[in-house]
Amino acid sequence: MEQNKVLVLYAHPSPQRSEVNRHLFKAAKSVAGVTVVDLYYEYPTYHIDIDKEQQRLSEHDVIIFQFPLYWYSTPAILKEWQDLVLEYGFAYGHDGTALHGKTFFCSLSAGGKAEAYQTDGYNHFTIRELLHPLEQMAALTGMQYLPPFALFGARTAQEDGRVKTHVTKWVTLLEELVAGNVDFEIASRAEKLNHYFEAHLVKERA
Ligand SMILES: Cc1cc2nc3c(=O)[nH]c(=O)nc-3n(C[C@H](O)[C@H](O)[C@H](O)COP(=O)(O)O)c2cc1C
């Protein structure tokens, strides 16, 4: 039985060149209980339909941004989506309670290697730190924030055979979210959702 309705908001400016995200996007479409939206496809000129997007949010329990990391952040359309859709009176402020009790996280890929995303590493910050504006967006709008589900070293992932295993984990994660088997309290404390996945979901399925 479906416990949670899951919404994946996919943002890739050049999906035809994607080696990682297009496979995640395609796989997510086949999971029952998951709605997948291709934002760049739906809004090539960034004219986001605010009512439609707010309606989608209201109808789902778990909201996921799926994207390739661009300049340590989301591709531009996800920022525009936030700026337009998360209105006062809907997402925050007086009577702005539409998102209360929902869960939010990012599913992202990054060109940099995992070890580069450390305080003393090449990129100086952890991925969770770099996503702080989104974590606070979730806090302000009353959503429980989970750490990102991430694939690093994206450019060599295909040749290393890591895309296939990541897609398999992604599908399992989505299925477990739909089934209500993800412990949000425990998951929220991880640095990456990948850690929660390895520690809890794999064991329980084995
Ligand atoms: C404009 C642009 C900005 C990027 N910024 C970053 C970045 O800040 N950090 C990083 O690790 N990779 C960065 N990358 C690499 C992408 O994250 C990487 O190519 C992508 O995650 C691969 O996924 P895909 O095969 O689905 O496109 C950037 C790539 C582009 C084109």
Instruction: Specify the pLDDT at position 7.
Output: 98
Would the pLDDT of 201 be above 90?
no
The separation between the first and the last C-alpha atoms of the chain, rounded to the nearest angstrom, is 21
Q: Pocket of ligand 1, candidates 70, 151, 164, 166: which has the most ligand atoms within 8 Å of its Cβ, to mutate?
A: 70
Residue 21 near ligand 1, beta carbon < 6 Å: yes
Which atom in ligand 1 lies closest to the alpha carbon of residue 68? Answer: 21
Question: Residue 197 has what pLDDT?
Answer: 86
Q: What is the pLDDT of residue 205?
A: 61
Confidence at 187, pLDDT banded by 50, 70, 90: very high
Helix (H) or strand (E) holding 108: strand 103-109
* Number of domains into which the chain is organized: 1
Ligand 1 geometric centre to CA of 51 (Å): 30
Q: Kindly state whether residue 143 falls inside one of the protein's structural domains.
A: yes
Integer Rg of the chain from CA: 16
In a domain, 142, yes or no: yes
> The tokens 């297009």 sit on which residue?
22
Domain residues for the domain of 29 are 6-205
pLDDT digits (tens, 9 = 90+) for 137-170: 999 999 999 999 999 999 999 999 999 999 999 9
6-49 tens-digit pLDDT:
999 999 999 999 999 999 999 999 999 999 999 999 999 999 99
Specify the CATH number for the domain of residue 64. Answer: 3.40.50.360
Q: How far is the CA of 184 from the centre of ligand 1 (A)?
A: 28
Distance, CA 65 to ligand 1 centroid (Å)? 15
CA-to-CA distance for 174 and 97, rounded, in angstroms? 25
For the stretch 108-129, pLDDT in tens is 999 999 999 999 999 999 999 9
* 1 is a domain residue: no
